[in-house]
C-alpha cells in the first residue's frame, strides 16, 4: 500500500525475533497503536448480525467458532460468554476487539418490484479487563454492545411509509467476579449497566404527491445481571452455562414531524417515551479437549424474545391518526422465544498458532404475522473461521463469518394502532439477505 522502504539495522530485535520485546517502549507503542485502531468501533457501536436484534459477536475467538464458547471461555471475552471461565486466566489481561459487518438485504415484490438496502459497513466493538486477585478470585470489567439494529432503505423505496431508517445502539458496562469453589468448579456473577439509543424514520402519506416525514428518537438506561458456571468433571471435559437477565429500558425522546406548510397547525415536535424489554438468555455448552491438539464445542442458547410483544410510543400530545386523534402509537410484535445451536472447535497447530472454525443455526423469533421490513428476520446459517497468533505478550485474533439468511416471505398488513397502513400490502413479497462479518482483536498479557 505504501512505497516507503525501511532497512532495519543489524541486530535489531524486530528482525531477530517477534517473540522477544525490544524493551518497554516497544510494548507501550504497540499498546497505543492497538488502542488507536480498535477503540473507535468499541465506543461508537452501530450494528452486527444476530437473531432479532441481539448481538452475539463479542470476541474473535468465539466468533471464529460460530460463538460455541460457553464451556471453553478461556479468554477475556468470557466476561460476556461465561464469566466463570475467567479463573482460567492466570495473569492480568486487556482485550480489545472490533467487528465490521457488511449486510446485503433485498426485497422482491409483485412483478418487477425490487429494492435493496443501501450498501454500508456497520461497526461494533468490545473491551475487557481481567485481573486475577488470587488463586480463587478473578475480577473482570467488560464493555460491549449486546443489542443493536440498523436498516437503511432508499428514501423512495416502495415501503417508505413503513420504514426508511432504523437504528438501535446499546452500550453495556459489565463488572464481574469469578470464584473458584473447588479444583474443577467455578461460578461467577456480574451487573450490567445498559444504555440504549434508538431512532426510527419513515415517510408519511399526508397529501397526494406530497410526503411528510416522521422521525422518532429516544434514549434510556437499565440494569440487569448475569451469572455463569464452569465445571470440569473429567480431564479434558468441561460443562458450562451462563444466564443474562432481561433489562427494562424506558426511552425518553421526541417525535419530529416534517409536514407540508398547509398543515402548520399540527404539532411538529412532540415529547414521548417508549419502553423496551431486552430479553433474557440462557446458554448451555460442552467443551471436549481429550484429543489434543483439538478442542470441540457444542452450545445451545435460548433467548426469551416473547418479552417483545409490542412497541408503544407514548406522546405527551395527541396527533391526527387513523381519522382521529391518538396519544400513543402501537405496533404489534408478538415475537416468540427462539433457540440457537452452535458447533465449533479449534486446532492448536503450534504453540503460538491456533486455527478455529464453526457452524451455527440461528432460529428467528419473528412470526409470519408481524414480520416487517424494519426487521426482515429469518432463520440463518452461520459459517465461521478464524485464527489466533501469539506474538510476544500479544495474542492477535481474526475471525470471519458468512451469515446466510433463509428466504422469507412477508404476507401480512403492517398496522399502527390496529389499523393497516394504506401501503402495507406493497411490501409483501420475498426478503433475501446475507452478511459478511470480520472481527479483529488484540489481547495484551501483563
pLDDT confidence of residue 19: 43
* Grid cell of 45 as nine digits: 457501536
How many C-alpha atoms does 312 have within 13 Å on its Cβ side? 13
Whether residue 381 contacts residue 358, with contact meaning beta carbons closer than 8 Å, is answered with: no
Distance CA 235, CA 74 (A): 16
* Residues whose CB is less than 8 angstroms from the CB of residue 15 and which lie 6 or more positions away in sequence, other chains included: 8
Sign of CA dihedral 298, 307, 244, 401: positive
- pLDDT, residue 443, reads 97
What's residue 257's pLDDT?
86
307 vs 222: CA distance, rounded Å: 15
CA–CA separation, 64 and 387 (whole Å): 7
Q: 182 exposed, middle or buried (CB, 10 Å; 0-12, 13-18, 19+)? A: exposed
Q: What is the mean pLDDT of each run of 10 residues along the chain (446 residues)?
A: 37 39 48 45 47 89 98 98 98 96 92 89 93 97 94 91 92 98 97 96 83 92 99 97 98 89 77 94 97 96 96 87 80 96 98 98 96 92 98 96 96 87 84 96 96
User: 375, 53 in Cβ contact below 8 A?
Assistant: yes
Task: For the chain, give the secondary structure using H, E and C.
Answer: CCCCCCCCCCCCHHHHCCCCCCCHHHHHHHHHHHHHHHHHHHHCCCCCCCCCCECCCCCHHHHCCCCCCCCCCCCCCHHHHCHHHHHHCCCCEEEEEEEEEEEEEEEECCCCCEEECCCCCEEEEEEEEEEECCCCEEEEEEEECCECEEEECCCCCCCCCCCCEEEEEEEEEEEEEEEEEECCEEEEEEEEEEEEEEEEEEEEEEECCEEEEEEEEEEEEEEEEEEEEEEEEECCEEEEEEEECCEEEEEEEEEEEECCHHHCCCCCEEEEEEEEEECCEEEEEEEEEEECCEEEEEEEEEECHHHCCEEEEEEEEEEEECCEEEEEEEEECCCCCEEEEEEEEEEEEECCEEEEEEEEEECCCCCCCCCECCECCCCEEEEEEEEEEEECCEEEEEEEEEEEECCEEECCCCEECCEECCCHHHHCEEEEEEEEEEEEEEEEEC
Tell me the C-alpha distance between 97 and 414, whole Å: 38
In this structure, what C-alpha cell is assigned to residue 183?
Answer: 479444583
Total residue count of the chain as it appears in this document: 446
pLDDT of amino acid 395: 96
Threshold 0.85, pTM exceeds: yes
Q: Considering only CA atoms, which of 244, 299, 227, 277 is closest in space to residue 63?
A: 299
* Domains of the chain in sequence order: 23-445 (2.40.160.60)
Amino acid at each position: 500500500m505504501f512505497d516507503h522502504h525501511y532497512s532495519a539495522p543489524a541486530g535489531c530485535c524486530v528482525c531477530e525475533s517477534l517473540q522477544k520485546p525490544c524493551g518497554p517502549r516497544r510494548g507501550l507503542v504497540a499498546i497505543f497503536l492497538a488502542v488507536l485502531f480498535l477503540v473507535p468501533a468499541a465506543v461508537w457501536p452501530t450494528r452486527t448480525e444476530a437473531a432479532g436484534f441481539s448481538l452475539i459477536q463479542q470476541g474473535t475467538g468465539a466468533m471464529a467458532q460460530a460463538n460455541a464458547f460457553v464451556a471453553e471461555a478461556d479468554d477475556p471475552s468470557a466476561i460476556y460468554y461465561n464469566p466463570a471461565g475467567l479463573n482460567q486466566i492466570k495473569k492480568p489481561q486487556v482485550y480489545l476487539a472490533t467487528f465490521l459487518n457488511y449486510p446485503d438485504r433485498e426485497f422482491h415484490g409483485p412483478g418487477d418490484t425490487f429494492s435493496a438496502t443501501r450498501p454500508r459497513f456497520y461497526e461494533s466493538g468490545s473491551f475487557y479487563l481481567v485481573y486475577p486477585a488470587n488463586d480463587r478470585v478473578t475480577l473482570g470489567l467488560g464493555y460491549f454492545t449486546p443489542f443493536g439494529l440498523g436498516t437503511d432503505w432508499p428514501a423512495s423505496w416502495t415501503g417508505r411509509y413503513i420504514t426508511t431508517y432504523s437504528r438501535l445502539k446499546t452500550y453495556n458496562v459489565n463488572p464481574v467476579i469469578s470464584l473458584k469453589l473447588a479444583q474443577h468448579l467455578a461460578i461467577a456473577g456480574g451487573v450490567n449497566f445498559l444504555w440504549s439509543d434508538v431512532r426510527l424514520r419513515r415517510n408519511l402519506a399526508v397529501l397526494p404527491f406530497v410526503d411528510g416525514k416522521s422521525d422518532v428518537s429516544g434514549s434510556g438506561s437499565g440494569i440487569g445481571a448475569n451469572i455463569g458456571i464452569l465445571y470440569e468433571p473429567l480431564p479434558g471435559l468441561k460443562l458450562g452455562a451462563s444466564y443474562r437477565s432481561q433489562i427494562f429500558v424506558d426511552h425518553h425522546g421526541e417525535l419530529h414531524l416534517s409536514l407540508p406548510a398547509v398543515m402548520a397547525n399540527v404539532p411538529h415536535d412532540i415529547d414521548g417515551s417508549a419502553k423496551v424489554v431486552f430479553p433474557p438468555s440462557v446458554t448451555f455448552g460442552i467443551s471436549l479437549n481429550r484429543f489434543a491438539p483439538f478442542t470441540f464445542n457444542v452450545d445451545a442458547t435460548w433467548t426469551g424474545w416473547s418479552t417483545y410483544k409490542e412497541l408503544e410510543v407514548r406522546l405527551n400530545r395527541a396527533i391526527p391518526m387513523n381519522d382521529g386523534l391518538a396519544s400513543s402509537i402501537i405496533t404489534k410484535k408478538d415475537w416468540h422465544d427462539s433457540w440457537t445451536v452452535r458447533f465449533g472447535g479449534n486446532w492448536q497447530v503450534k504453540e503460538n498458532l491456533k486455527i478455529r472454525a464453526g457452524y451455527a443455526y440461528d432460529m428467528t423469533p419473528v412470526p409470519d404475522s408481524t414480520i416487517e421490513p424494519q426487521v426482515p428476520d429469518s432463520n440463518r446459517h452461520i459459517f465461521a473461521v478464524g485464527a489466533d497468533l501469539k506474538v510476544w505478550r500479544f495474542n492477535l485474533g481474526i475471525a470471519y463469518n458468512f451469515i446466510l439468511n433463509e428466504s422469507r416471505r412477508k404476507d401480512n398488513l403492517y398496522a399502527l394502532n390496529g389499523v393497516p397502513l394504506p401501503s402495507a400490502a406493497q411490501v409483501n413479497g420475498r426478503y433475501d439477505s446475507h452478511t459478511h462479518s470480520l472481527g479483529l482483536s488484540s489481547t495484551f498479557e501483563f
